[in-house]
Amino acid sequence: MAYDRNNIFARILRGEIPCVRLYEDGKTLAFMDVMPQADGHALVIPKEEAEDFFALSPEGAAALIATTQRIARAVKKGMNAPGIMVAQLNGAAAGQSVFHVHFHIIPRSAGADFRPHAREMEKPEKLQAFAERIRAALE
């Protein structure tokens, strides 16, 4: 499959679609998932065009992993989460729904169920409140 330059993450990177930003550098962007599976669910994407992990350059992969680790630490601290789930899906058969490589960072607590993925939009003010907590926890 060829990279679709009109996927939602590419459009976010171009500023065509707003997002609640957590962190940005020259190679990556982290922001709140608008259809979260748990409070504080964040996404990390590379600025490089790559539909999945296998299409990403080694340099892009290194930057993506470094930012994912940094954001995961901040989500854990900012959301006071006892655990963090980091997920990365490749291909429709694996459950990937946006074909721009990305990591999900999802706060976890024992016994807490996930909300269904990509089903319900969260209120922007709630996402902003979680983002403030996570940004404050960035080292």
Q: Which of 41, 100, 102, 104 is catalytic?
A: 102
Q: Can you tell me the distance from the alpha carbon of 83 to that of 109, in angstroms, rounded to the nearest whole number?
A: 6
36 Cβ contact list (under 8 Å, min separation 6)? 106, 115, 122, 127
With beta carbons less than 8 A apart as the criterion, state whether 117 and 37 touch. Answer: yes
Q: Can you tell me the distance from the alpha carbon of 112 to that of 30, in angstroms, rounded to the nearest whole number?
A: 24
In the residue annotation, 100 being an active-site residue is answered as no
- The catalytic residues are 102
